């Protein structure tokens, strides 16, 4: 049976969203159909407002509704540390974890020659600019723990080669906390072995 | 960190959708932000159009953009069989499976005294009306295989008690095809045992 047109159309659009398949799109469309009309009006408006009122921060590349973003303009953040991430999603995850209070720089892509991908033009220049203009003394390269992330990490490091006073670091790899050795893959186990922490007998 | 207002707002609305949590709402909102503007405009319009152009069929309760719906008005469907379901979702699943070509009746709820739920008023009257006006000779009660479904099934049966010429049936319970005995729960195994099919030695 062909579903009624307006229903089919919404499902088709919802299915383009990440992680949404036929069945979940159908459940969502149903929910909206059964919810009070105010909900769909609000939702429609929120989608339109997102594109209209949001942009990326001209300094760091974060998602924002003002220039500069509320991280770059926050006087309480530590301006000596700069965390370099591949995408805004990574920035948000680190922020949500609440484990960092310095500044960020969003590269906006990865280096991945096999997929023909590279960092957007001017991305590394923007980073160097931010370091030179600010009081940055450490750059933490927080790229994702996979091949493209490693290549991106090396691209960032080589762009910063001249800056000998700058401390450079990357996130450590190892067993995910709360996970189990049984389910860890061998590459992770290898990393956990290689970068094992030596402890004194007293601990 | 507080996310920018328009982003926060969309995430809040998306999280109300079934099966959508904080993380997937964030991924969806990102996707929309990064997609061309045409997508959010279309999506917004599709949400509004859903409430504006869809209603339920006055005869069977199916979701429709015309009266009666395209199942009730299809001359090729078998008008002697009526499949009674709890909700429109169930109707759609049976239709998508392509295993049935009769008519439907959507009860629009379940009988569940513990949750204080009952069928909507007039629901069973509508069913009786549809049977009496049509040429229905069999009613298949396709309620869900759980306690509320069973109670709903009995409510439907007792409403049809007077109609002695009418054949009544329900879907069979048993092992899901493609599943395994190892993962079947004991109630399902019990049902599969109880309603086992006897075969001749020749098969």
- Mean pLDDT of successive 10-residue stretches along chain A, which has 203 residues: 83 94 91 92 93 92 93 94 92 85 94 89 94 92 88 93 88 80 79 75 54
| Nearest by CB: A46 against B10, B26, B52 | B10
Quote the minimal CA–CA distance from B148 to chain A in Å.
20
pLDDT for position A173: 83
The Cβ of residue B124 has, within 10 Å, a number of other Cβ atoms equal to: 18
Is residue A137 within 8 Å of A166, Cβ to Cβ? yes
Taking only the tens place, the pLDDT of each residue in B143-188 is: 888 888 889 999 999 999 888 889 999 888 887 877 777 777 888 8
What is the topology classification, in CATH, of domain B78-170? Dna Topoisomerase Vi A Subunit; Chain: A, domain 2 (3.40.1360)
- Cα(B97)–Cα(B158) distance, integer angstroms: 29
Asked whether the domain spanning A63-170 has the same topology as the one spanning A5-53, the reply is: no
Structure tokens at A174: 């190892």
Quote the minimal CA–CA distance from B199 to chain A in Å.
35
Q: Hey, what CATH class is A63-170 in?
A: alpha beta
* Partners of A78 in beta bridges: A102
**For B67, which residue in chain A has the nearest alpha carbon?**
A4
The Cβ of residue B65 has, within 10 Å, a number of other Cβ atoms equal to: 17
Taking only the tens place, the pLDDT of each residue in A142-197 is: 988 888 888 999 999 999 988 888 999 988 888 787 777 777 788 888 887 777 77
pLDDT for position B153: 92
**For A18, which residue in chain B has the nearest alpha carbon?**
B28
Q: Which long-range contacts (CB under 8 A, 24 or more apart) does A124-131 make?
A: A124/A155, A124/A156, A124/A159, A126/A61, A127/A84, A127/A156, A127/A159, A127/A160, A128/A159, A128/A160, A130/A59, A130/A60, A130/A82, A130/A103, A130/A105, A131/A82, A131/A160, A131/A163, A131/A166
Quote the minimal CA–CA distance from B38 to chain A in Å.
10
Residue-wise over A176-196: b if at least 16 C-beta within 10 A, else e?
A: eeeeeeeebeeebeebbeeee
pLDDT for position B25: 93
CATH number, span A5-53: 1.10.8.420
**Interchain contact, A19 vs B4, CB within 8 Å:** no
pLDDT for position B151: 93
Domain boundaries, chain B: 1-38, 78-170
| Nearest by CB: B71 against A1, A27, A33 | A1
| Nearest by CB: B33 against A30, A51, A71 | A51
The Cβ of residue A123 has, within 10 Å, a number of other Cβ atoms equal to: 19
Burial class from Cβ neighbours inside 10 Å (0-12, 13-18, 19+) for residue A203 reads exposed
| Nearest by CB: A43 against B3, B13, B69 | B13
Residue A146 CB contacts under 8 Å (≥ 6 apart), including other chains: none
| Nearest by CB: B65 against A4, A49, A66 | A4
**Interchain contact, B51 vs A31, CB within 8 Å:** no
Ranges of chain B with pLDDT below 70: 1-2, 199-203
**Interchain contact, A50 vs B41, CB within 8 Å:** no
pLDDT for position B76: 94
pLDDT for position B201: 56
Indicate the Cα dihedral angle B50, B51, B56, B57, nearest 10°. Answer: -70
Is residue A72 within 8 Å of A59, Cβ to Cβ? yes
Is residue B181 within 8 Å of B164, Cβ to Cβ? no
The Cβ of residue A145 has, within 10 Å, a number of other Cβ atoms equal to: 16
Look at residues A46, A198, A60, A54 and name the one whose alpha carbon lies nearest to residue A123.
A60
**Interchain contact, A4 vs B51, CB within 8 Å:** no
**For B95, which residue in chain A has the nearest alpha carbon?**
A1
**Interchain contact, B44 vs A49, CB within 8 Å:** no
Tell me which of 3.30.70.2080, 1.10.8.420, 1.10.10.10, 3.30.70.1560 is the CATH number of domain B1-38: 1.10.8.420
pLDDT for position B2: 66
Look at residues B132, B65, B130, B139 and name the one whose alpha carbon lies nearest to residue B102.
B139
- Cα(A124)–Cα(A156) distance, integer angstroms: 7
Interface test with A, best of B16, B30, B37, B47 (most A CBs within 10 A): B47
């Amino acid at each position: 049976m062909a579903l009624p047109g307006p229903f089919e159309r919404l499902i088709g659009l919802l299915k383009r969203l990440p992680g949404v398949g036929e069945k979940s799109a159908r459940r969502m469309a149903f929910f909206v159909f059964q919810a009070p009309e105010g909900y769909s009006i609000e939702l429609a408006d929120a989608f339109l407002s997102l594109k209209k009122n949001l942009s990326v921060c001209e300094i760091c590349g974060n998602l924002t509704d003002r220039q500069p973003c509320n991280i770059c303009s926050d006087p309480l953040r530590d301006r000596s540390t700069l965390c370099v991430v591949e995408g805004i999603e990574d920035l948000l995850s680190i922020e949500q974890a609440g484990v960092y209070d310095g500044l960020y720089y969003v590269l906006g892509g990865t280096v991945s020659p096999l997929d023909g991908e590279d960092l957007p033009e001017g991305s590394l220049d923007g980073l160097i600019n931010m370091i030179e203009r600010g009081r940055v003394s450490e750059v933490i390269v927080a790229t994702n723990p996979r091949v493209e992330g490693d290549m991106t990490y090396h691209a960032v490091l080589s762009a910063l080669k001249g800056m000998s006073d700058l401390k450079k670091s990357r996130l450590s790899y190892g067993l995910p906390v709360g996970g189990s050795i049984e389910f860890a893959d061998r590459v992770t186990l290898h990393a956990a072995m290689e970068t094992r922490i030596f402890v004194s007998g007293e601990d």
